[in-house]
Homo-oligomer: A and B are copies of this chain.
Amino acid sequence: MSYEARRNQLYQLMVEERIRLVMFEHTEGRQDSAIRWMTGHPGDGLLFLGFDRQGKGYSLLVPWDINIALIHAEVDSLISYTEFERQPLKAIQGAAAYFSIPFGSKVEIPPVTPYPLFLHYVEALTDFEVLCRDGGLHREVEFFRAVKDPAEIAIYQTLSAITNDLMDVLEQRIRSGELNTEEAVALFIEAECRKRGCEGTGFETLAAGPQRSFGIHPFPAYTSGDFATAGLSILDFGLKYAGYTSDVTLTFVRPPLSRAQEKMLTLTERAYRLALAMIGEGVATKTIAAAVGAFFNNAKKSMPHALGHGIGLEAHESPALSNRTDNSWVLKPGMIFTLEPGLYDPTHGGCRLENDILLTPKGFEVLTNARIIRL
């Protein structure tokens, strides 16, 4: 789907809701890759969607770096952020003037706008009705983005193949002892993913040897310490290709293991299979997450994080797969998300198994081939 087609979905909703101007913001404090999704622009900036004099949808990008935008952005118009002194309030006032929106029009700003800043927007836009809503147009974009279109699914097929290939190479090199520290593994991924055509990694690689694998997210992310020595080692990484991120976790297991460690591994693998068996169109993700939670609790364990999450231009996107009471996501064909059950123990270390799943009209496809690897 073209960037323009994506924006057209929004214009339609804007007409229905009589919203004349909507702003998206991707800046240091509030990053929203919806701008990249709707324009291709990968950098900081503000995106305004409105209508031209003929009532046709029209897009105005206000990038921080105009030179990057000139190369990457597919939009109707570009104005450098410096024209507005790099101030969002001046930019939105400028956009309202640019689009000549009438007195009393509805203008929607991002729902992540801080409360004190929201008050400044209201003040700066006294002629208009300022909307800042959880369930507004930005949420609709989140819904659109959660269901990947054919172009995005094609990217994920390529990306998954690269990720799988790299996991095979990692297994070989770790088995051979060539990669034997957290740092060696992480830097190998950085170098190899680029050789295979990726933009880079999708997030900071987490590599934790047996002494540190008890952390959900080890700190620091990787060190010069041993990896894949006796016990449980976790490797959680993602590759970024054409903007999109994969996200997988391997656990490397080297004997001797304690009974507690064996039990953690067995439970994690069973939880993963349980989750996989429940996946299907129309299933509430909360139901799956709750089932996995109950399964662990039944074994007197608990999982201290969500079961999974959507992936896309961000490493964490919708849908959430958590048993939080406020999670109302339901699986739909086209969604791509992780399943990542794990258990963590200060004494025995941790294990996690994470793969990327594509829901299809007929069922699902496990895109990646992460596994628990016994050395």
Interchain CB contact under 8 A, A43 and B111: no
Q: Is A29 an interface residue (CB 8 A)?
A: yes
Q: Is A298 an interface residue (CB 8 A)?
A: no
Q: How far is the CB of A84 from chain B (nearest CB, A)?
A: 11
Interchain CB contact under 8 A, B111 and A215: no
Interchain CB contact under 8 A, A215 and B65: yes
Q: Interface residues of A, CB < 8 Å — how many?
A: 58
List chain B residues, Cβ under 8 A from A204: 200
Copies of the chain in the assembly: 2
Interchain CB contact under 8 A, A115 and B87: no
Interface flags for A111-129 (1: CB within 8 Å of B; 0: not) read 1111110100000000000
Instruction: Select A220's contact among B29, B183, B200, B214, beta carbons within 8 Å.
Output: B200
List chain B residues, Cβ under 8 A from A375: none
CA distance A335 to B108 in the complex (A): 38
Interchain CB contact under 8 A, B68 and A215: yes
Interchain CB contact under 8 A, A68 and B316: no
Contact stretch, chosen from A94-102, A191-199, A275-283: A191-199
Interchain CB contact under 8 A, B215 and A67: yes
Given contacts A65-B215, A72-B219, A217-B68, are A324 and B86 in contact (CB under 8 A)?
Answer: yes
Interchain CB contact under 8 A, B194 and A68: no
Given contacts A70-B346, A114-B114, A346-B70, are A216 and B302 in contact (CB under 8 A)?
Answer: no
A219's closest neighbor in chain B, by CB?
Answer: B42
Given contacts A191-B183, A200-B220, A302-B82, are A114 and B111 in contact (CB under 8 A)?
Answer: yes
Given contacts A115-B114, A224-B195, are A304 and B132 in contact (CB under 8 A)?
Answer: no
List chain B residues, Cβ under 8 A from A194: 183, 223-224
Closest 10 CB pairs of A and B: A115-B118, A116-B134, A199-B220, A115-B132, A65-B216, A112-B114, A115-B115, A42-B219, A67-B214, A68-B215
Add 14 more A-B contacts to A65-B304, A68-B217 (CB < 8 A): A28-B316, A43-B217, A64-B304, A64-B305, A65-B215, A80-B304, A87-B324, A114-B114, A114-B132, A115-B118, A116-B133, A194-B224, A199-B220, A200-B220
